[in-house]
Structure 1
Amino acid sequence: MGRKKLERFKQNEANPIVVQPGKPVFETVKGNWNKIQFEKDLPLVVELACGRGEFTVGLAREYPRNNFIGVDIKGSRIWKGSTIASESGLTNVAFLRTQIELLSDAFEEGEISEIWITFPDPRPKDRDEKRRLTSPKFLEMFKKLLVKRGVIHLKTDNTGLYEYTQMVLCARQDVKVLKDTSDFYRSPWKDDHHGIMTRYEKMFMEKGESIKYLQFMFT
């Protein structure tokens, strides 16, 4: 392991806005995010597979009346967003280092207000369907963790994942689609995200890919 990565891991251990295994808060934060991690009791908004945290930090700046949590398993990625958030003095941001499959170990049922799924691995192979973050397995978990009428957002460049998600949502009786576009930046909602882009979004846009966006809730 490189010296730079080791240094970043050390900084994560010292940074109070990073919640990860080995820290006492990791064992007690479930159901208590607003009580022991944040300064104010505000709605929790969670970004899954947050990578470097650009979107989590950007949303936190725009919406100070929400608390934002970026989730990723890669500590070196989380380091970037957590460092920016700390240096910016943002008190409504935290980062959770864990696998998304274990999200229920970190949140109580009905604790999350919104979930963002931003440019996830599309898992195009049929054998990997259950690993797609919009598969029925994950949607059932998200439904339990969300507050009543909580909202899920999906942003992706991948047409296959977008169309797969449409199909999964259409097959359910407990879902209401609120927004749906195959070209977000030509849609009526293009200003809703305040120009905040992840590294991957910028990369796909430069390649000429259209950005797909779905917003839905469980009824």
Structure 2
Amino acid sequence: MGRSKLAKFAAIAERENVVQEGDELYGKLSGKWRDIYFENNNPVILEIGCGRGEYTIGMARLFPDKNFIGADIKGARIWKGSTMAVEEELDNVAFLRTFVERIDENFANGEVDEIWVTFPDPRPRDRDIKRRLTSPRFLDLYKQILKPDGIVHLKTDNLELYRYTLEVLQERPVNNLLHTEDLYNSNLQEYTMGIYTTYEKRYLEEGIPIKYLRFQV
């Protein structure tokens, strides 16, 4: 492991805005994010697979009256988002370092208001279908921690993942499904708040349309 990664791991271990295994609060915030961590009763918005936290940070800037949590297992990526939050003094942001498969261990039933899944690995091989973040397995986890009628958003550049997700949703009792194969030539842009990730900008420069889905579980 390179020195840069080691330095980032050491930095996030000292950050109050990062919760990870080994921390005093890890595993103790289920049902208590508002009370113990944020100390308010504002809505909780969760970004799954947040990477460098660009969407989490972007939303936190726009909505200081909401709480935002970026979840990812990659510590070096979380370091970037947590650094931005510290530099900008964003006290409505937290980062949770954990596997998505364990997300239900960190949130109580109905604790989360919205979930964002932004540009996940499409897992194109058939043997990896269960690892897709919009597979039934993960949608069941999201439904568990979301409040009734909680909202899930997906942004992706990958047409196959987008179509796969639509197929999965057609077999589930979801409500108010909105979707488009070309977000920036649609009337759904308002839901994504004009926030672009680094990868998203790159895709757009390459002429790849951004796909978007929004639904209630």
TM range (shorter): over 0.9
The answer for the alignment partner of 1:35 in structure 2 is 35
The answer for the alignment partner of 1:103 in structure 2 is 103
The structure 1 segments of at least 4 consecutive aligned residues displaced by more than 3 Å after TM superposition are none
The answer for the alignment partner of 1:55 in structure 2 is 55
Structure 2 unmatched runs, 5+: none
The answer for the alignment partner of 1:133 in structure 2 is 133
SS at match of 2:69: strand
The answer for the alignment partner of 1:120 in structure 2 is 120
Structure 1 unmatched runs, 5+: none
Deviation, structure 1 residue 196: 1.0
SS at match of 2:192: coil
2:4 paired with 1:4: yes
For 1:6 and 1:57, the matched residues in 2 are separated by 23
Deviation, structure 1 residue 63: 1.2
For 1:69 and 1:199, the matched residues in 2 are separated by 19
For 2:198 and 2:72, the matched residues in 1 are separated by 15
For 1:48 and 1:105, the matched residues in 2 are separated by 14
Deviation, structure 1 residue 126: 1.0
In percent, how many aligned pairs have the same letter?
52
The answer for the alignment partner of 2:26 in structure 1 is 26
Whether contact under 8 Å (1:17, 1:37) holds in the other structure is no
- Residue deviations 1:32-62, cap 9 Å, x none? 1111211322111000110000100000111
Deviation, structure 1 residue 106: 0.6
Whether contact under 8 Å (2:47, 2:71) holds in the other structure is yes
Deviation, structure 1 residue 195: 2.1
- Residue deviations 1:71-114, cap 9 Å, x none? 11000000000000111011110000000000011111111100
The answer for the alignment partner of 1:81 in structure 2 is 81
**Scaled by the length of structure 1, what TM-score is found?**
0.96
Q: CA RMSD in A?
A: 1.0
2:26 paired with 1:14: no
- Whichever residue aligns with residue 65 of structure 1, its letter is D
Whether contact under 8 Å (1:156, 1:162) holds in the other structure is yes
Deviation, structure 1 residue 189: 2.1
- Whichever residue aligns with residue 210 of structure 1, its letter is P
Number of positions where the alignment pairs a residue of Structure 1 with one of Structure 2: 217
For 2:176 and 2:207, the matched residues in 1 are separated by 26
Alignment of 1:65-76 (within 5 A): 65-76=65-76
